[in-house]
Structures are given as C-alpha cells and as structure tokens.
Amino acid sequence: MSFVERHIGTDGVAQLAMLDAVGYDSVEALVEAAVPRSIAQGVIEQSTIPAAIGEREALAELRALAAKNHVRRSMIGLGYYDTFTPAVIKRNVLENPSWYTAYTPYQPEISQGRLEALINFQTMVADLTGLATANASMLDEGTAVVEGMLLARRASGAKTNVFLVDADALPQTKALLVNRAEAVGIQLVETAFDGDLPEAFGAFVQYPGASGRVWNPAEAIAAVKAAGGLAVVAADLLALTLLASPGELGADVAVGTTQRFGVPMGFGGPHAGYMAVRKGLERQLPGRLVGVSQDASGQPAYRLSLQAREQHIRREKATSNICTAQVLLAVMASMYAVYHGPGGLKRIAQQVHGHARALAAGLQSAELELASPAFFDTLTVRVPGRASAVVSAALEHDVLVWQVDDDTVSVALDETTTADDVRTVAQAFSAEPGEAPRGESALPEDLRRTSDYLTHPVFNTHRSETSMMRYLKYLADKDYALDRGMIPLGSCTMKLNAATEMEAVTWPEFASLHPFAPASDTEGYLELIEQLSAWLAEVTGYDSVSLQPNAGSQGELAGLLAIRGYHRSRGDEQRVVCLIPQSAHGTNAASAVLAGMRVVVVATDENGNVDLDDLHAKIAEHGDTLAALMITYPSTHGVYEHEVRTICDAVHAAGGQVYVDGANLNALLGYARFGDFGGDVSHLNLHKTFCIPHGGGGPGVGPVAAKAHLAPWLPGHPLQQRDVVVGRSAEELPAHANVVSAAPYGSPSILPISWAYVRMMGSEGLKQATGAAVLAANYVAARLREHYPVLYAGDNGLVAHECILDLRPLKAETGITVDDVAKRLIDYGFHAPTMSFPVAGTLMVEPTESEDLAEIDRFIDAMIAIRQEADAVARGEWPADDNPLVNAPHTAESVIAGEWAHAYPREVAVYPVRSLVRSKYWPPVRRIDQAYGDRNLMCACPPLEAFA
Amino acid sequence: MAELHYTKDHEWVSIDGQVATVGITQFAADQLGDIVYVDLPAAGSAVASGTVVGEVESTKSVGELFAPVDGTVVESNDAVVSTPELVNSDPQGEGWLIKVEFTELPELLTEEQYKELIA
C-alpha cells in the first residue's frame, strides 16, 4: 500500500458509501460543488513538489539530508545547551503517541495525566525561580521576555513608555525586543544598570548575563520598583539550583527556557520557555495556566485556570495573542526534574560549574583575561586579535565556541561536558585545564542559594527507572489521545501523525545541532527548510515563506507586522485599522493589537458569511486608515464563503492588504490557493494541516507565507546561517531582522515531520486528502442533520471540512446543554468536538481525512444515541437533574461505590454501547467544577493528603 | 423607597438621593454564568457615564462594568470581590457592585423598557 492509502482513513469502497449518503457520485464532483468556481485552482505548470514516494524511500532521503548536518560538541551557549535526554523520557514521552498526539487539555476530565505533568512543571519553575505562580510554559525564552515586557506595561502604574534592557542580554532576545517594542510604541533603553536609571515601567535583567557574568541585581531591581516599574528577570534554571532565585532578589517576573532540562537543542526548537510571577500578578499571566479544582465528588482535579484572560475570550483585550504552550517539551523538562530530583539537579549544576572553574583556572594560568570573575557555566575570554584563531582551533577538534568579536570568545559548558572536552577547549586557547578544588565556587558569596526547592514528593520519589516508567504510564493512561480514538475538534485538524513522519525528530543530526552552529554544519537542515518553504509557497499560491514563527499566533503577528512594514515603507503610517469579522478566532484580534493595529469588527450575516454591506461601510468609514482585513478561509463557520474574491477585491481597492488565516487550510489544498483569490499574506499551521502532532498543547509551527511585495518584512534572524526567505536579500534586512522567535528557523527539529508528509503525499495525495476530509465532514453533516441542525452551509448546501451542529434547540427542548453532550461523549469513548466556537451553544466537528468510516460511524451513532437520551429527559423518563447526561462523565468509582441511587442503570452510565465492554476509556475524575478552580486559585502540586 | 432604573448594558441603578447603587441584572448574571472574579474601582475614583470602570469575569466570559452616571465612587462592594458568587446568587441585592455619588441623572431605562430589551 502507498503512504497516501495509509494516511487517508477511508478507502474507495467506504467513500462510495459516504458519497451515497451525501448525494454525489464522486469526491471530485462533491468538492467541485462545494468550492466556489471563482476560486478553483488552475493547473500548476512546473511544480516544485516531487511525485510521492513511499515510507522507506522518504526515510532514505531524510537520512541523506541528515548526513549533510554535522554534529559537533557545542559550547556556544547563548540560551541553548546540550543535555542528556534520559532515555526513559525520550522513549515514554517524546516518542510516545499517548503524549504527542493529545490535544490541548480543554476537556480536563480526559486530560488529567498531562495536566498533572504540567502542574509539576509549574511547581518546578515556581520553586526554582522563587516566585508564586508559573504558567504552563511559553514558546521560547526570547518571546517570554517580550511577554514579560508587555506584562510590566499592563501592571505598572508608571506613566512612561520606557523599558530598560540589560546590555548583557542574549542577542536574539535584544533583537526580538526591538522588533516587538516598536510596533506597540515602547521605547527601549539599554543599560548596564551601573548608574542612575531613567524612569521606566519595567526593566529586563539577564541572570546570569549572556557573557556568563554573575552579579547581584537586587539593588537595580529595587531601584526600578521604587520608581513604579516591574522587574523582569530571565534566569537559567540550572544555575538557580546554586544561585539565589529571582524571587529572593525582588523580581516581579521571571522568564527563561527549560531546554537544558533534557530537551534536545534541535537547531533551535521546539523547547518550553517559562514565565513565573509574584503573588498578585497571576491574572496578568499570558498563556496557559493549570490549576487545581475539584470534581463532582469533591476530589481534587486539574484544569486550565483563568481562561478569561486569554485571547479566545478577551480578544483584543487579552493578556497576549499566544494561544498555545509547548506542552510536550514542558512535560519532558518537568520529568527531567522528577527523574533527577533536587539533589540530582544540583549535582549536575555543580559538575557543570566545576568544569567551568577548571577551564577558568587554566585560562587564567595562561594569562588570559576573563570578562567576569564570577560565573556559573559560561566564560567570556579576552583574546586580543586571536578570536577567530581560537574558534578555528576548537573547530579542528569538533568543538564549537562562540566568537563574540575579533578579540573575544565565549565558551559555555553543559551537562554533557567532560574533562576531555575542557582540555580540548583549553588547548584551543593555548592553555591547559587548571585545578578546580571541590567545594569551592566562582559564585559570589551573597548570591549562593540557601532556600529549598522541589520538596514536593513527586520530585523525590521516582529515582529508579522502573518507577519513572510506571509514573509516565500512569499519567498517560489518564489521557485521551489519538491513540485511543477520534478527536473531532473543529478547526484543529487532528489528523494522523504518522510514525514515519516522526522518525527523524530524534535523530542526532536533527536533534543535536545548536541554532547558531556554522552554516557549513547545517546544510542538510537548510536544504530541508528551503524545500519545505518552496512547497508551502506553491500549495498556498504565495511567493515567500518564513518558517520561523513557532506557533500560529506568532505567524499571524509576523504577517501583520509585514503588512505594517509595507504600509510604512510607502509612507502610509496612518494605515492602522484592521478589519476582523465577528466570527474570527480571538487570536486574530489579539495579534492585530500587538502589531500596532486598531481592531474594527465587521458583522457577519445570518449565514455566517462576512456581511458585505457592513464591510463596504467599514471600508468607506476608515478610508485611508485601512491597513488590513483578516479573514479565515474556509470561514470559521466551516463553509467556503462564496464572495471571498469580492471581499478581497474591495479591501485591495481601498489600499488595504488581505490577511488570510490558514487555520482551515485542510479544506483547500489542491483545490484553491489563498494567493490566487486575493490573499497577500497568511500563516499556516503545520500542527494542523501538515501533521506535526499537537503534543497535548504544543509545539506548533506557524509559518508565514506572503506575496513578493511583503517578503522584505518576513521574519529573518540576526544570527541566521542563511536567509532562506525567497524574494529578498539578507542585506535588505534591518538589524532586528523582523525576528519573531528566539531561533532563526523557529522549531526546526519538527520540520522533518511536515517535510515527510508532503514528500510521501505529493501534490496528488494532498488533494486526495482534502477530498476525503471534505467528504467526511459532509457525511457527518448529512447523517446528523435530522438529529441536530447543521448551522451553516455554503454553495449547494455543502460544508467544507467541518460542520457546526447547533445544540441550542436541544437545550430549549430538553434542558441538556452543550457541556452535557460533550461530557457524555466521554462515556461513549470520544473526545468532544470544539465547544461553543465560533457560536455559543454549538459543537464544531472536524473528522479529518485520517479517520476511517467505522470510527466516523461510531461517533455519529454516539451523537444520535445521546440525542435519544436527551429526548428521554425531555419526556420525563429521567429527571432533569439526575440522568446520564448531566452526571457525565462517569468514573468507575462512581458506578461501583455504595448504593446505586440514580434514575438510570449502571450499564447505561458506563456501557451505553455494547462494544464498550471490550474496550473502554475510563475517565479518572467526574465532571470538574470550573468555577471552584478560578475562585480558589491553586497552581502548584497539591499535597498528597488532598488525594486521601 | 429607592427608585430602580436599568441601562442597556444590563446594569441596574438604584437611586437614593444623590447616590446611585449599581449592579448587573439577573439576566446579565445568568448570561455570564459562574462569576469568579470582580474588579471594581476604588472609593474616591471619578467615573464618567458610559466608560468602563470595572469587570465581572466568569469561567467563560468577561463582562465590563460601565458607569451609568458621571460622579465619584463612594463605596465599592468588598463582599463581591472576596465572594464573587454573590453576583450570581443575588445580583440585585447583596451582589451590588458600586455606589456612585452624582449630580445629574442621565436618562435611564425603566423596568418595562429593560424587560423589552431582553425579551
């Protein structure tokens, strides 16, 4: 069988049966009827996408690309360190579909495993940083610093737009701050914190500094706070096992990365960034926050807390545009701490520090000057005129050190550094390692850590590999991921993440490269990135692609910043109005604000389409201040909007640019292209359309694709090996290089997944996948329509790749809510569809092309059975407050404990369908009280007694 | 007996002399669902009619509190800040939000007009 046949769940026979239910003769006829003729894709004469190959052949090609990467011992540092990923974590988390195919834990009852892992992560970060509350991870360190800056501006009462930046900050962080501050009117002032400080709403301190210098910022922090500002400290978590925590030094916010806690460098990502805040700032946190609440039995249960802060609810007033975390990587980092425990982490830190001291002693014996006598793991060494010679000498021994300038070299040691490595590096400086007596330290006396951390039992229990393996299994068993069944989440495209696609992620040639390694060591990666960029440009009808944005939200922001840059380059500074349809995802609005734009909402009509009259009125009203329209295609209502070309033309005629949100691209590939029907720029979600797994809530990859006229403003990077964005020269780039992520190519180690998908599908396979996805959605709509109204449809009454089931009539007739149905689906062995987006009281179902007909039918049958249960409630057969729906989901304990006093039998509770007797997902908790968790916020590991 | 008025922003306004007590209506509380957090202006702050002066947040939504009159906040309800569920259980009583001293009363909705609005 071909890979295409493995990827698409429905075969020819199944598709014929489905077509019959929908009323079409062929998939081609169905899609042609659904997609408006005016946007149908033409023939691509010279495709860059080669014909599909099989799984074995694709792996061989990936091996060939891998062979062009050269892995050396990296001592570059700058926020990225080599690390040993414990094999038990690599095999049981990173390479385990129970973890990587799960979705964001919006349905907490079926996500308790990863929620527990995330609360471990939050506890780890809060403990090490000495702050009250940590979130469930950030995209990377650089963007976390930006978020810290924005948080400081929200929370500070200071009436200034000045933000102070540590002169000894990481170069990529500085570039990110410059790019992001400009758009929102923040003025950055760089300082060494050595004199009087200007008035500022906040300050950013790198601790230890990028040069490796360890200094005590407590006084500077106090001065900033005394003037009404907030202190944001980026801290290295491994260093914090030995150093006083940011909290103890007075910081309001701590940020950073957890990469060196067992997550491979991967040429830049993905890794989990972090953010922690002092008490009182919880509600200002961006991103996901896991908290403890209780279930219907009063048992502790985890859930996402304070969601009303986030963009999907608060839209342009959200704390951030970020709508994802880096869950898979945060789980890995937290498990690294669980596995090593506080003592183990401290020993690792001491070992690293010991090697650094040995190297320092040797260099000083050779009369070399260190930039700072106090350091943790990084030395900056003065070698007047010899820097490049030292770098070359190290390179000859396969060691990478960092050339700061002609006269300065820095060396960063890590967990994997050996005494031999220290010798090799010392010799590159024409020195020998010195003595580093045990028990001594190059950390200042006043900064040595005395406070405890990681005292919770979870960090002090799982020392043996047996125990660790079983803890990971225990957690994974609590969760519902694609390895159990369908996850029909509308707008999320939970398709197959094929094992072959995943293979290369952990190969050392892809996993072990530093993001700032020399270009010559990374040719395989650069080739893969260029190929994938070209393929993505072709399938979307654009000219240029940047793969840097490491989430869809960042892709949006990058695209809007490109529009901003374009308008300003033409002298149109006044073009700041961003039109966004009412039905848009909240992230659109939040991103627009961060791109310095003003959101104006365009109404949608009763069919869910953009209201053309209102659009024309808004365009006229805003005249030459119109910057852009953001539109999702197919629409967030899951239909191919007929007038999309008219809409794009109207915006262009008024001098605006069209941003097409690529969230629903899975309904379009091979049939229509954004760039052809009027899009100027889009972001794609490789974690939706192109098979990167959701990882339980991240990583994501959100490339930004654009027409040539916007190419100069797409993300590049000050430290990139090569500018791979077509249509511009690197010389054109400003110093900050339009950077939106910490690493030049975002999260490269997961790009082989999407590369393999396109390579094994070919253009024809991608088109077949679209057809199968559209057929599956229309089949679901056709079969469920008589039980639940399908809210919107496009041409010929057809939906695109998803359909919205209206449950409001059900509620009116039976009192059963969308929540009840979602939770009851758990009893039937399903993950609920998307709830109440884009319309409250509805479910949005996206079956994707990867599910087979049996699974789709099992879902439809469950939905019909639930409808019948609701009708029984309406008829009075079961009381409104005691029926299988309002009591869902049912745990094993809830049906066996004590007397059964409910109005329906136990079998109906847990085995509503006979097949469940053989194969049943048992939720570990009953329905979770959402309000209790928000009213009694607790975001760290609860004491074990809580579970008694 | 104080007279009760309403606004199109789903607030009730009870007038007693020159002081308006303000809260959200039962309808608004029901629409928001479980209220988990209330942010109110401090006593002494000046407020302008029609501007956002606070927030009422539920697990799934955020409602803004608009000042129905120009004036000065004389008291905000600490009880709802510490126990936000009061806004659900008794929105037009114990779940009141702020008291504002005003000089001029703008045109507000009568109970009948408000009922029509939410019908």
Looking at the partner chain, which of A313, A836, A931 has a beta carbon nearest the beta carbon of B62? A313
Given B34, B57, B85, which is nearest A930 (Cβ)? B34
Cα distance from B108 to chain A (closest Cα, Å)? 27
Q: How confident is the model at residue A946 (pLDDT cuts 50, 70, 90)?
A: confident
Chain A residue closest to B33 (CA)?
A931
pLDDT given at position A372: 96
Categorize the per-residue pLDDT at A889 as very low, low, confident or very high, splitting at 50, 70 and 90.
very high
Rounded Cα distance, A443 and A356, in Å: 11
Which tens digits make up the pLDDT trace of A164-188? 999 999 999 999 999 999 999 999 9
Task: Give the contacts of A907 (CB within 8 A, at least 6 positions apart).
Answer: none
Residue type, A723: D
Q: At what angle do helices A465-477 and A112-129 cross, to 10 degrees?
A: 120
- Tens digit of each residue's pLDDT (9 = 90 or more) over B77-118: 999 999 999 999 999 999 999 999 998 989 999 999 999 999
Out of A313, A317, A931, whose CB is closest to B36? A931
Q: Which residues of B touch A (CB under 8 A)?
A: 34-37, 57-62, 84-85
DSSP-derived secondary structure letter, A770: H
β-bridge partners, A546: A704
CA of A312 to nearest chain B CA: how many angstroms apart?
10
Confidence of residue A944 (pLDDT cuts 50, 70, 90): confident
* SS3 labels along A102-153: CCCCCCHHHCHHHHHHHHHHHHHHHHHHCCCEECCCECCHHHHHHHHHHHHH
So what's the pLDDT on residue B1? Answer: 54
A–B interface: beta-carbon pairs under 8 A: 34
**A664, pLDDT greater than 80:** yes
Q: What is the mean pLDDT of residues A591-618?
A: 95
DSSP letter at A767 equals H
- Model-level pTM? 0.97
Per-residue pLDDT reduced to its tens digit, A57-112: 999 999 999 999 999 999 999 999 999 999 999 999 999 999 999 999 999 999 99
> Tell me, what's the pLDDT at A806?
97
**Residues in A lying within 8 Å of B, measured between beta carbons:** 283, 307-308, 313-314, 317, 836, 930-931, 934-935
Closest-CA residue in chain B for A106?
B60
> From CA A696, how far away is CA A326, in angstroms rounded?
9
Distance from CA of B35 to the nearest CA of A (A): 7
Highest mean pLDDT out of A268-277, A725-734, B50-59: A268-277
CB–CB contact B62 A283 (8 Å): no
Tell me the shortest Cα–Cα distance from B1 to chain A, in angstroms.
Answer: 35
How does the average pLDDT of chain A come out, rounded?
A: 96
Assess if CATH 3.20.20.10 describes domain B4-104: no
If you search the block for the tokens 């008694």, which residue do you land on?
A948
Q: Minimal Cα distance from A930: which residue of B?
A: B59
Three-state secondary-structure class, residue A230:
strand
Task: Please tell me what DSSP assigns to residue A673.
Answer: -
| CB within 8 Å: A935 and B85 | yes
Enumerate the β-bridge partners of residue A544: A706
User: Does the pLDDT value for residue A439 go beyond 90?
Assistant: no
| Model confidence pLDDT, tens digit, residues A508-548 | 999 999 999 999 999 999 999 999 999 999 999 999 999 99
Q: CA-CA distance, A864 to A327, in Å (whole number)?
A: 34
What is the average pLDDT across B28-47? 94
Nearest CB to B57: which of A308, A836, A930?
A308
Q: pLDDT tens, A754-772? A: 999 999 999 999 999 999 9
Å from A930 to nearest chain B CA? Answer: 7
- Angstroms from B84 CA to nearest CA on chain A: 8
Contact residues on chain B for A313, CB-CB shorter than 8 A: 60-62
Band the pLDDT of A113: cuts 50, 70, 90: very high
Give A324's pLDDT tier (boundaries 50, 70, 90).
confident
Mutate to test the interface with A, among B60, B61, B64 (most CBs of A within 10 A): B60
d(CA A851, CA A772): 10
Residues of chain A found within 8 Å of residue B57, distances taken between Cβ atoms:
308
Asked whether the beta carbons of residue A314 and residue B58 sit closer than 8 angstroms, the reply is: no
B82: closest chain A residue by CA? A935
Q: Do B37 and A307 touch (CB under 8 A)?
A: no
* Cα–Cα distance list, B61 to A105, A808, B35 (Å): 18, 18, 9
Q: What is the pLDDT of residues A773-787, one digit of tens each?
A: 999 999 999 999 999
Q: Do B62 and A308 touch (CB under 8 A)?
A: yes
Identity of the residue in A317, A836, A935 whose CB atom sits nearest the CB atom of B36: A935
